């Protein structure tokens, strides 16, 4: 029988055995998920359509900026099923809410508050001020300033390529009439139009103009996209329309 000391003093053997242990543990955790029918909750609106949809082009570019700037290092997007978390942030996070996230932004580090349900909590103008100079609206904030977001034009040149890539990993953006019709059935026509890759750039400009997220209707900035993304977080499901017991069976 191999002695414990011989493993600890042999770096190569220790690494191999550590990787083996991690791999086995990971498989034990992950493999069962592929055989559980209720891994992702099936959440419907009153009209029977799926409540959770993929991000629009503008929201997706905003999410990319969120990732680029490392916002996930200080903000999680996962409300745990505990009373104190629910009192502060709202209903605990559902797996369904992250089903189109690549990568997801769950996390556990909270130097700042959780953002899973920040959408609609503040106005777009407040979010813009907060991103430009956080302490102008939250004096105790330790968040860095991000003034360049409002000054930098939003690069939309790779929007279609990004949406096509996400489509390959399962996000239901549409390219064909059949895929578009499937999205109409799944999400409704208004949402299906926003998920059409063929109209992605037109839809993005329309959303940015209507939302005017950065307060400057004459400029399409990175701030527009990031605030659009923040404003959608946690707003797709109206939990007041669902009974608590409806989701307990998935836990």
Per-residue pLDDT tens over the stretch 154-164:
999 999 999 99
Confidence of residue 99 (pLDDT cuts 50, 70, 90): very high
* pTM for this model (two decimals): 0.85
Q: How many other C-beta atoms are found inside a 10 Å radius of the C-beta of residue 75?
A: 20
Confidence of residue 41 (pLDDT cuts 50, 70, 90): confident
Q: Mean pLDDT of all residues in the chain?
A: 92
Residues 6+ apart with CB under 8 A from 74: 109, 110, 111, 112, 143
Q: Give backbone dihedrals phi and psi of 83, rounded to 5 degrees, phi first.
A: -60, -45
C-alpha pair distances (Å), 132 with each of 3, 101, 128, 154: 59, 26, 6, 16
122-147 pLDDT tens trace: 999 999 999 999 999 999 999 999 99
């Amino acid at each position: 029988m191999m002695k414990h000391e011989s493993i600890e003093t042999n770096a190569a053997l220790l690494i191999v055995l550590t990787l083996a242990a991690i791999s086995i543990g990971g498989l034990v955790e992950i493999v069962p998920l592929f055989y559980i029918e209720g891994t992702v909750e099936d959440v419907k609106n009153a009209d029977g359509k799926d409540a959770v949809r993929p991000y629009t082009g503008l929201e997706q570019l905003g999410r990319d900026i969120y990732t680029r700037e490392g916002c996930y290092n200080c903000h999680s997007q996962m409300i745990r099923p505990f009373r104190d978390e629910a009192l502060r942030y709202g209903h605990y996070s559902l797996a369904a809410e992250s089903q189109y996230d690549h990568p997801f932004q769950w996390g556990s580090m909270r130097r700042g508050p959780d953002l899973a349900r920040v959408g609609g909590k503040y106005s777009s103008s407040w979010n813009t001020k907060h991103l430009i100079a956080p302490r102008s609206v939250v004096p105790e904030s330790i968040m860095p300033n991000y003034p360049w977001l409002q000054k930098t034009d939003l690069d939309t040149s790779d929007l279609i390529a990004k949406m096509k890539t996400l489509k390959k990993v399962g996000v239901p953006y549409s390219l064909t009439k059949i895929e578009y019709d499937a999205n109409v059935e799944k999400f409704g026509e208004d949402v299906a139009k926003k998920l059409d890759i063929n109209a992605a750039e037109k839809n993005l400009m329309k959303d940015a103009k209507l939302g005017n997220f950065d307060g400057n209707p004459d400029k399409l900035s990175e701030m527009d996209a990031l605030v659009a993304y923040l404003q959608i977080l946690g707003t797709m499901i109206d939990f007041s329309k669902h009974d608590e017991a409806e989701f307990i069976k998935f836990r």
